[in-house]
C-alpha cells in the first residue's frame, strides 16, 4: 500500500495534540498516495480507532472534505468497513451530504460532494450505514426532492439557500451524485421501495433528469446529462420492479407521464445504448400500465384525442386507434443490437464453456422481451408488426439450417432460448405471443426441441398433435416452403439430412424386436437405479413421470396395478 501504513501508532501520532493543519497535511498526502488503492491492510482495531478519531474531527470545516475523502477511499474495501463506521460518523456523513436536514449543513460544496461520494460507497458496502439511512424516512424524502430540485429553473427558485447559490457546473455534479445515492438506496430495501412507490410525486421527481435531456437540442446534451438520465431510469426500475397490480404512485396521470418520457428517450436520437437500455428496463416493470395512447403514437406529434364518433366501449378500450410502430421498432432494433453482441460472444467460446460477458448481455435483454410481450398482448397491431419483423413467412432456404444458426433476429432469439437462464423463458413467451399462442406455429418457426420446455411449463404439450388451424399457415408460409415442408424435421425446425442408411438395414423382424427389448430392459434398469426418470404427457398437458418404460409406447395399455386379479 502506498504512503504511510495506518497503524494504531500512526493514527495516534497523527491525531494526538495535532493541529488541523497537521492533520490536513498528513491525510492530503495519504489520500493522494492511495487514490487508486482498493486494499489497505488495516486490522479491525486500527479501523475502529481511525473511525473514532475521524468522527471527532470531521465536523471541523477545515478537515471535513479531506477526512471524507479518506473514508471514501477506505470504504472501497468491504471487509472491515463496519469497524471503521460508527453511528456518529454515519450520521455526520448524512448531514454533510445534505440528506439529513440540519441547519447549517452542508458546510461547503467540496465537502458536500465528498460526502456524497462517500455515501455511495458506504451505502453499497455497509449494513450499518444503510441502517442509519433507512431508520429515518425523512432521508428518503429529502433525496427524492433533490432529484428534481436541481433542474435549472427549480434550482434558481429553490427555498434552500445552498442550492440557489451553486453555479450550474457544481449543481450538475451534485445532482448526478444524488441520483447515484437514490439508485443504491432503492436497490437495497423493499420497504424503502414501497415508501417511494406509494408517493404520487415519485415518478415526476425521478424522471425529471430524463425529461431535461429531451428538452435540450441534441448538440446541447452533455455526457453528464445522459449519466443522470440513466441513473434516474435505473432508480425508477428499482422502485417498481418488485410490485404487481395497482401501485399508488402509478396512477393515470403518472402512468401517462412515465410512458411519454420513456417512449421519447427510446425513440430520441440523443440517447446512447446505456440510456436506451435503462429506458426499456423501466418500461418493462410489471405495475406500469401500457398506455397505448402514448406508446403507439408518433413521438414527434402531440397525442391526438380520440374521435368523438366512437362508441363508449371503444372509448374505454381504444386499442384500434393507436397504430404507430415507432416505439415498437425502436425496441426491436435495440434488442437485435444487444443480441448481436451477445450471440457473437457466446459463439466465440467452445460449446462446453461459458461466456460470462455474453450471458450478462443476455440477462440484460430480458426486459426487452418483457416490454415487447406486454405491448403485443395489449395491441394486435404491435403483435402483427413484431410477427412480421421477427417471424416473416418461411421460405425453403430458411429450413436448410437450424433456426439458431440463422443470422437474423429470429435466429438470435432461438439461440437465447438454448441458454440455462431466466431470459429464455421471457424470450419463449414473446415468440409464443407473436405466434398467436399457436403450438404448431411455434414449433414450425423454432422447432419442437427449442419450444418443448416452454410448452411443458404451460401444459401445452398435449396440443402438439392437434390438427392445424387455417390461420397457422396464413402469412407464415411461401410456395417454395410448402414444397419442402414434408422434409422438415419438426424437432430441429430444419430439413432432415440426406439419408445415410439405417443401422437396422438387413435385420429380420425378430432381430429388430430383440434389439428393441434390449433397449427397454436397459432403460428400465436406469429407471430402477434412479439415474433417469422418463416422462410422458399427462391428461393436463404437462409432463408426468412414468412408472414403467412401456408407458412410453404410444397407445400402450395402462400398466396393471399390484392388486390386479390377473396372473
Predicted local confidence at residue 312, as pLDDT: 65
d(CA 231, CA 275): 9
Give the residue carrying C-alpha cell 474531527.
57
d(CA 374, CA 434): 11
User: Average of pLDDT values for 294-302?
Assistant: 90
d(CA 368, CA 362): 10
Between 560 and 436, the more confident residue is 436
Closest CA relative to residue 265, chosen from 322, 331, 203: 331
Adjacent-strand bridge partners of 494:
489
pTM equals 0.86
3-state helix vs strand vs coil in the chain, percent to 5: 60, 0, 35
Predicted local confidence at residue 344, as pLDDT: 95
Whether 551 shows a pLDDT value over 80: the answer reads no
Predicted local confidence at residue 467, as pLDDT: 62
CB distance 128 to 185 below 8 Å: no
User: Average of pLDDT values for 389-398?
Assistant: 91
HEC string of 54-111 equals: HHHHCCCCCCHHHHHHHHHHHCCCCCCHHHHCCHHHHHHHHHHCCCCCCCCCCCCHHH
Predicted local confidence at residue 562, as pLDDT: 41
Length of the chain: 567
Whether 490 shows a pLDDT value over 90: the answer reads no
Whether 475 shows a pLDDT value over 80: the answer reads no
Predicted local confidence at residue 515, as pLDDT: 86
Q: Verify cis geometry, omega within 30 degrees of 0, for the bond prior to 113.
A: no
Lowest mean pLDDT among 199-213, 380-394, 443-457: 443-457
Predicted local confidence at residue 526, as pLDDT: 81
Highest mean pLDDT among 99-103, 253-257, 319-323, 558-562: 253-257
Start-to-end CA distance of the chain, whole Å, equals: 83
Whether 565 shows a pLDDT value over 80: the answer reads no
Closest CA relative to residue 485, chosen from 400, 387, 390, 391: 400
Whether 567 shows a pLDDT value over 50: the answer reads no
Adjacent-strand bridge partners of 545:
535
CB distance 207 to 149 below 8 Å: no
User: Average of pLDDT values for 286-304?
Assistant: 90
Q: 207 to each of 98, 231, 235, how far by Cα in Å?
A: 21, 10, 9
Write out pLDDT tens, residues 224-247. 999 999 999 999 999 999 999 889
Contacts for 463 with CB less than 8 Å, ≥ 6 apart:
439, 440, 455, 541
User: Average of pLDDT values for 127-149?
Assistant: 95
Predicted local confidence at residue 309, as pLDDT: 63
Predicted local confidence at residue 561, as pLDDT: 44
Q: 67 to each of 23, 24, 71, 114, how far by Cα in Å?
A: 9, 8, 6, 9
Write out pLDDT tens, residues 499-549. 655 667 778 888 888 888 888 888 788 878 877 777 777 777 677 787 766
User: Average of pLDDT values for 256-284?
Assistant: 94
Give the Cβ contact number of residue 541 at 10 Å: 16
DSSP 276-295: HHHHHHHHT-TTS---HHHH
Predicted local confidence at residue 559, as pLDDT: 45
Q: In the predicted model, what is the mean pLDDT of the chain?
A: 88
What is the greatest pairwise CA distance in the chain?
103
Cα 400–chain centre separation: 35
Write out pLDDT tens, residues 421-451. 889 999 999 999 999 999 989 999 999 888 8
CB distance 357 to 442 below 8 Å: no
Whether 188 shows a pLDDT value over 70: the answer reads yes
Contacts for 89 with CB less than 8 Å, ≥ 6 apart:
51, 54, 55, 58, 71
Question: Predicted confidence band at 316 (pLDDT cuts at 50, 70, 90)?
Answer: low
Amino acid at each position: 500500500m502506498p504512503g504511510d501504513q495506518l497503524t494504531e501508532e500512526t493514527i495516534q501520532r497523527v491525531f494526538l495534540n495535532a493541529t488541523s493543519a497537521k492533520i490536513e497535511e498528513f491525510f492530503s498526502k495519504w489520500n493522494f498516495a492511495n487514490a487508486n488503492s482498493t486494499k489497505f491492510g488495516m486490522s479491525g482495531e486500527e479501523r475502529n480507532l481511525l473511525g473514532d478519531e475521524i468522527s471527532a474531527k470531521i465536523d471541523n470545516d477545515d478537515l471535513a472534505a479531506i477526512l471524507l475523502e479518506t473514508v471514501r477511499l477506505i470504504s472501497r474495501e468491504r471487509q472491515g468497513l463496519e469497524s471503521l463506521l460508527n453511528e456518529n460518523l454515519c450520521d455526520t456523513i448524512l448531514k454533510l451530504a445534505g440528506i439529513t436536514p440540519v441547519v447549517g449543513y452542508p458546510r461547503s460544496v467540496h465537502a458536500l460532494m465528498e460526502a456524497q461520494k462517500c455515501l455511495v460507497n458506504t451505502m453499497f458496502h455497509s449494513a450499518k450505514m444503510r441502517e442509519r439511512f433507512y431508520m429515518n424516512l425523512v432521508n428518503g424524502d429529502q433525496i427524492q426532492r433533490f432529484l428534481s430540485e436541481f433542474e435549472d429553473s427549480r434550482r434558481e427558485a429553490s427555498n434552500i439557500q445552498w442550492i440557489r447559490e451553486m453555479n450550474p457546473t457544481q449543481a450538475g455534479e451534485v445532482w448526478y451524485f444524488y441520483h447515484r445515492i437514490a439508485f443504491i438506496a432503492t436497490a437495497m430495501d423493499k420497504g424503502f421501495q414501497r415508501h417511494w412507490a406509494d408517493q404520487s410525486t415519485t415518478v415526476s421527481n425521478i424522471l425529471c433528469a430524463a425529461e431535461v435531456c429531451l428538452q435540450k437540442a441534441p448538440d446541447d446534451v452533455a455526457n453528464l446529462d445522459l449519466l443522470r438520465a440513466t441513473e434516474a431510469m435505473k432508480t425508477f426500475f428499482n422502485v417498481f420492479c418488485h410490485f404487481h397490480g395497482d401501485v399508488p404512485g402509478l396512477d393515470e396521470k403518472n402512468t401517462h407521464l412515465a410512458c411519454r418520457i420513456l417512449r421519447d428517450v427510446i425513440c430520441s436520437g440523443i440517447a446512447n445504448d446505456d440510456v436506451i437500455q435503462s429506458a426499456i428496463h423501466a418500461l418493462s416493470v410489471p405495475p406500469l400500465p401500457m398506455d397505448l395512447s402514448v406508446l403507439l403514437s408518433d413521438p414527434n406529434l402531440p397525442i391526438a384525442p380520440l374521435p368523438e364518433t366512437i362508441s363508449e366501449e371503444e372509448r374505454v378500450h381504444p386499442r384500434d386507434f393507436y397504430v404507430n410502430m415507432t416505439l415498437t421498432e425502436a425496441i426491436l432494433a435495440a434488442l437485435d443490437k444487444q443480441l448481436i453482441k451477445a450471440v457473437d460472444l457466446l459463439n466465440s467460446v467452445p460449446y462446453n464453456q461459458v461466456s460470462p460477458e455474453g450471458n450478462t448481455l443476455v440477462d440484460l435483454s430480458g426486459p426487452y422481451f418483457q416490454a415487447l410481450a406486454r405491448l403485443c398482448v395489449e395491441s394486435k397491431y404491435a403483435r402483427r408488426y413484431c410477427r412480421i419483423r421477427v417471424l416473416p413467412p418461411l421460405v425453403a432456404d430458411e429450413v436448410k439450417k437450424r433456426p439458431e444458426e440463422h443470422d437474423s433476429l429470429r435466429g438470435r432469439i432461438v439461440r437465447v432460448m438454448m441458454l440455462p437462464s431466466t431470459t429464455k423463458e421471457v424470450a419463449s413467451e414473446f415468440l409464443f405471443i407473436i405466434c398467436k399462442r399457436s403450438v404448431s406455429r411455434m414449433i414450425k418457426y423454432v422447432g419442437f426441441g427449442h419450444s418443448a420446455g416452454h410448452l411443458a411449463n404451460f401444459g401445452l404439450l398435449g396440443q402438439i398433435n392437434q390438427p392445424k388451424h387455417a390461420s397457422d399457415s396464413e402469412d407464415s408460409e411461401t410456395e417454395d416452403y410448402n414444397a419442402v415442408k414434408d422434409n422438415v424435421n419438426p424437432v430441429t425446425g430444419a430439413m432432415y439430412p440426406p439419408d445415410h442408411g439405417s443401422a437396422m438395414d438387413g435385420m429380420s423382424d425378430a432381430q429388430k424386436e430383440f434389439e428393441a427389448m434390449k433397449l427397454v430392459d436397459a432403460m428400465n434398469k436406469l429407471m430402477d437405479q434412479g439415474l433417469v426418470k422418463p416422462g410422458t404427457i399427462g391428461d393436463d398437458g404437462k409432463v408426468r413421470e412414468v412408472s414403467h418404460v412401456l408407458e412410453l409406447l404410444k397407445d400402450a395399455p395402462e400398466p396393471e396395478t399390484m392388486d390386479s386379479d390377473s396372473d
